[in-house]
Chain A
């Protein structure tokens, strides 16, 4: 009798727990594009999107207080607009390099526009639209450093972020370089300033963003010899081919009608570099 009562209470508690868990993940699942038309369908139905971006990369994706600013943000707004979602209805989510794939796979975000390099390894887990920009891995060194390229990194210490392609490339191709990994680039910079690391490595455009910040003005320089190509893509759920193609169409339109150039000019273009031309022939990653 007593045991039956205890069992009843336990069952009710369990039901509540399961319901609570489900309502959390259930919402996310519905929002995560499990319907046939994926992101496009979700945008049309809910008129809302959750987009994952970086929060600590000046010029590309930086969270300044309550707003996010940067080139990636502007591209994301263009895409959302093309899918029928107003900029005000975008929910921005901070992602770090290591959790971009889990976020997409789990449906925590609908799209990822976060200096997301397209490569085959990642293509096994997510799909990519774009590329909307092609960067290159480069090195950030002190202004008076003699390092002029990755060949001179033997025996030196390089700093990067866990889970990023630049870090992996150093690990695989430059095995005699010491690699210091953190969770954020902002932690690499004071080490560079004090000389504990000889270089910081990631995409050249990200490095330029850091080098041009007021507090580091004149202390660092980007070596200027990119030794890889890093095509930035827009990450979305794997096999969501129709949305992928639609996003590529939006990018092509943006290249044609000047909104791409405007996005550049208002963010990275402020340093004086002219806007690159978006090569629409390369938008073939949807597979």
Chain B
């Protein structure tokens, strides 16, 4: 198969590829073997460290409650981020400068501040201001919302601007006002094109909920690694299991996002300006 980088392999290239395949295969296998040995030497492969994961009680008491808390924070954050995102995207496209500029400043600010710093401030700092508690859950979710909502706001703005101009012109010609144009024409079309971006951002959100363990929100890392390891003394093993869980869930979400993307592509809704770059921007920005 000819790609941009590599040409159809001729006989010499085919031979070379086979040789390289074997060489690299051996090298990778050797590396994995070395890692395995080191882990065994350090005693990390002992049965009793892994045994707790074969017991249902471990899952029921530590991992599943943690997972539930993670998903709860992620989905609440997603819904709030969507609302925040649409609201601020429309705001930034307003013709009134006294709406556009402050909204723009807010969005840029929250995109630039690290999530950890925001969560710390909301949890440790805000209580000094309002003289009252900030529940851990809301400290995490509000931080997530502010950040991901801003990223979504930018994505929505790009999506709205990518809807063909003819649509807006036709709407104005028929006598619609700006708010009607947004509500009936632009946002629905932009939303459909933005679905893959939204789901990719959900992946980012899920990963960011892991920061909750730093303020002791009982999500998957806190329960599945810290508390579990305190009981069984198997920090690394617990972390590996939890990592696999994250990978599985996020992979499923990414597959879902790709499927959505293929579907909307088929339905003919396109976001011009380089689908690849735009989509990567949305997903990559969260990193």
Contacts and interface: CB of A to CB of B under 8 A. Distances in A.
A–B touch (CB < 8 A): the answer is yes
- Among A62, A94, A99, max chain B CB count under 10 A is at A94
B133 A108 contact: yes
Contacts, number: 91
Given A57-B230, A184-B230, A66 B177 contact: no
Q: On chain A, which size bracket covers the interface?
A: 35 or more
Interface in A170-197: 183-187, 189-190, 193-194
B235 A105 contact: no
Interface stretch (B208-216, B254-262, B273-281): B208-216
Interface stretch (B1-9, B123-131, B150-158): B123-131
Nearest to A190: B235
Contacts of A108: 133, 135-136
A189 B233 contact: yes
A106 B230 contact: no
A24 interface: yes
What 3 A-B pairs come out closest when comparing CB atoms?
Answer: A106-B133, A56-B230, A65-B61
A43 interface: no
A192 to B, nearest CB: 11
Contacts of A29: 132-133
Nearest to B61: A65
B230 A102 contact: no
A62 B134 CA distance: 25
B235 A94 contact: no
Given A95-B216, A107-B132, A62 B231 contact: yes
B132 A64 contact: no
B230 A58 contact: yes
A234 interface: no
A216 interface: yes
Contact of B236 (A6, A28, A190): A190
A93 to B, nearest CB: 9
Given A190-B236, A216-B233, A184 B226 contact: yes
Given A64-B61, A65-B60, A99-B216, 16 more contacts: A25-B134, A32-B132, A56-B229, A58-B230, A64-B231, A106-B134, A107-B132, A183-B214, A183-B226, A184-B230, A187-B226, A187-B229, A190-B236, A213-B233, A214-B48, A216-B233
Nearest to B215: A99
10 contacts: A2-B177, A2-B179, A55-B226, A56-B229, A63-B230, A106-B134, A184-B230, A186-B233, A193-B43, A213-B233
Interface in A26-45: 28-29, 32
Interface of A: 2, 6, 21, 24-25, 28-29, 32, 55-58, 62-66, 94-96, 99, 102-103, 105-108, 183-187, 189-190, 193-194, 213-216
B97 to A, nearest CB: 15
Contacts of B216: 94-96, 99
Contacts of A66: 61
Interface residues of B, number: 35
A65 B230 contact: no
Contacts of B42: 194
Contacts of B159: none
B132 A187 contact: no
B234 interface: yes
A62 B136 CA distance: 20
B246 interface: no
A201 B259 CA distance: 52
Interface in B170-198: 177, 179
A160 to B, nearest CB: 15
Contact of B135 (A28, A65, A94): A28
Given A187-B235, A215-B48, A63 B213 contact: no
Contacts of B218: 94
- Among A6, A32, A55, A99, max chain B CB count under 10 A is at A55
Nearest to B130: A25
Contacts of A96: 216
A62 B230 contact: yes
A225 B233 CA distance: 25
Nearest to B62: A65
Nearest to A108: B133
